[in-house]
Amino acid sequence: MLKTISNALSKVFGGSNDHQEPSSSTEQPHVTSVNKQVIGEEEHRIARRYLDDNALKVAYRLQDAGFEGYLVGGCIRDLLLKKKPKDFDVATDAHPEEAAELFRRARLIGRRFKLVHVRFGRDLIEVATFRASHDSQNQTEEGEQGKQCDSGMILRDNVYGTIEDDALRRDFTVNALYYCPKDHCVYDFANGYSDLKQGILRMIGNPEERYKEDPVRMLRAARFAAKLDFKIDPQSERPIQSLAPMLKRIAPARLFDEVLKLLQSGHAVKSYQQLQRLGLFEPLFPQVQALLESSAIDDVPLERLIENALRNTDRRLSQRKSVTPAFLFAAILWYPTQLRMQQLMRDNKMPPLPALHEAANQVLGEQVRSTAIPRRFSTPIREIWEMQLRLPRRQGNRATRLMEQPRFRASYDLLLLRETSGENLDGLSQWWTDYQNADEHQREKMVQALGKSDKPRRSNRRKKSRKD
């Protein structure tokens, strides 16, 4: 029987949603028009040495050619918050073709949203032309450059405008801050500076319309709230629960990229909590959410496994260790796959391995309708799952051979997570931990000790099935 979503949510977070609805009298009007403020260097205190040299080169080159050129978006937001920006973006009034001509290593990309990528070795600077909102254009022109479908979703976003137009079509006020390398001032058109100081994430314009234009903005709200530790403005938050299903219309490849930004940027646990709180996890992982809300959840520690996997990912990233989407997806989708496999064994009398293969096909086949999973990740996911069936079988020289498998490490990590999350595996992960730490002689003894304890258990099982 399905439990209610609010039940599931309070289960996930172990408490009530303490978000307080403000009274309407305290609500601020939507940011729909420009209120230009120039914030000087003595106020914003962005040290020039933290500005990316290549982004500055691009902005200067644009300005030298008679165009405008600003550093904009997340980089300015993050520098104001004393965080290291992930990337530096440049905004300009030059059209993409005009901008591309100014740089030797420039490439025009995108159709839905045309951009210029300027390469400096391994570094990439994204140059975007000022955009305007679609309703600021007349209908015939809009058909060429911009396109919206009946639900309001933007299908093409190449309607150009001024810096003021550009500020208002950005998503959150804190993402609409422009740094001018000429006067070193930050230009704020949407009260983003004040929101940033107060830790508020506020959608520019009418939030409902802006989410309908691009539902991915809802995921961005969850991500920035987690990453920046910001509170989502109540008016910006309110439409999200009911519009969440619109994410099902977004291309799975784009959602895969967004999932990685949410779960592989060092704040996965908080992002997951925000996704759950806002009802955004379901459109990304419908099978997992269905299981979280079903009675089968009493048999498997699904929530704990997900949270532990995400905590692990955050920890590895903070230690500058590598992470792979294959492990993350293998962990998140493990219990839906395991339960499907058990069902196939029970109902279709399939042996474990073919049942696992079939379950993997079904679960991954279903998942790629929400988020793509490129083949370079889906193959290792299957291998990590298959290893879960092989890791208990350690007799003879099997243990040594398993350790030589390329997926051993990730598979052992998943096994460890399963057991620490509450699955009873008879201490199997501890055995593997000890085995890896043991010398040759100790390993032999460990395997010998197994032989005795494992065989009777196997024959018992056989006897039992014969009786059945």
Footprint on this chain of ligand ATP (rule: CB under 6 A): 73-74, 86-87, 89, 170-171, 175-176, 214, 216-217, 261
Of residues 116, 66, 121, 64, the one with CA closest to residue 91: 116
Q: Which does 282 bind (CB under 5 to 8 A by kind): ligand ATP, Mg ion, none?
A: none
Closest contact distance (angstroms) between CB of 366 and ligand ATP is: 26
Q: CB nearest Mg ion: which residue?
A: 74
In the list Mg ion, ligand ATP, none, the entry touching 217 (Cβ below 5 to 8 angstroms by class) is: ligand ATP
Work out how close the CB of 77 gets to Mg ion at its nearest, in angstroms, rounded to a whole number.
9
Binding mask 1-20 toward Mg ion (x if CB under 5 A, else -) reads --------------------
- Least Cβ distance, residue 73 to Mg ion (angstroms): 5
Q: Which residues of 363-375 are buried (b: 16+ CB within 10 A; e: fewer)?
A: bbeebeebbbbee
Q: Does 444 interact with Mg ion (rule: CB under 5 A)?
A: no
Three-class secondary structure assignment of the chain: CCCCHHHHHHHHHCCCCCCCCCCHHHCCCCCCCCECEEECHHHHCCCHHHCCHHHHHHHHHHHHCCCCEEEECHHHHHHHCCCCCCCCEEEECCCHHHHHHCCCCEEEECCCCCEEEEEECCEEEEEEECECCHHHCCHHHHHHHEEECCCCCEEEECCECCHHHHHHHCCEHHHCEEECCCCCCEEECECHHHHHHHCEECECCCHHHHHHHCCHHHHHHHHHHHHHCCEECHHHHCCHHHHHHHHHHCCHHHHHHHHHHHHCCCCHHHHHHHHHHHCCHHHHCHHHHHHHCCHHHHHCCHHHHHHHHHHHHHHHHHCCCCCCHHHHHHHHCHHHHHHHHHHHHHHCCCCHHHHHHHHHHHHHHHHCCCCCCCHHHHHHHHHHHHHHHHCCCCCCCHHHHHHCCCCHHHHHHHHHHHHHCCCCCCCHHHHHHHHHHCCHHHHHHHHHHHHHHHHHHHHHHHHHHHHC
- Nearer to ligand ATP by C-beta: 175 or 276? 175
CB of residue 85 to Mg ion, shortest distance in Å = 7
State the catalytic residues.
87, 89, 171
Q: Find the shortest distance in angstroms from Cβ 37 to ligand ATP.
A: 17
User: In terms of CB distance, is 125 or 269 closer to Mg ion?
Assistant: 125
Residue closer to Mg ion (CB basis): 91 or 284: 91
Report the partner that residue 216 touches, choosing among ligand ATP, Mg ion, none (CB closer than 5 to 8 A by kind).
ligand ATP
Of residues 214 and 423, the one with the C-beta less far from ligand ATP? 214
278 binds, among Mg ion, ligand ATP, none (CB under 5 to 8 A by kind): none
Q: Which does 382 bind (CB under 5 to 8 A by kind): Mg ion, ligand ATP, none?
A: none
Name which of 93 and 171 has its Cβ closer to ligand ATP: 171
Q: Which does 8 bind (CB under 5 to 8 A by kind): ligand ATP, Mg ion, none?
A: none
Which CB, 110 or 366, lies closer to ligand ATP? 110
| Cβ-closest position to ligand ATP | 74
Of 210 and 340, nearer to ligand ATP (C-beta) is: 210
Window 66-105: contact mask with Mg ion (x via CB under 5 A):
--------x------------x------------------
Could you tell me the smallest distance in angstroms from the CB atom of residue 160 to Mg ion? 20
Q: How far is the CB of 122 from Mg ion (least distance, A)?
A: 17
Task: By CB under 5 A, name the binding residues for Mg ion.
Answer: 74, 87
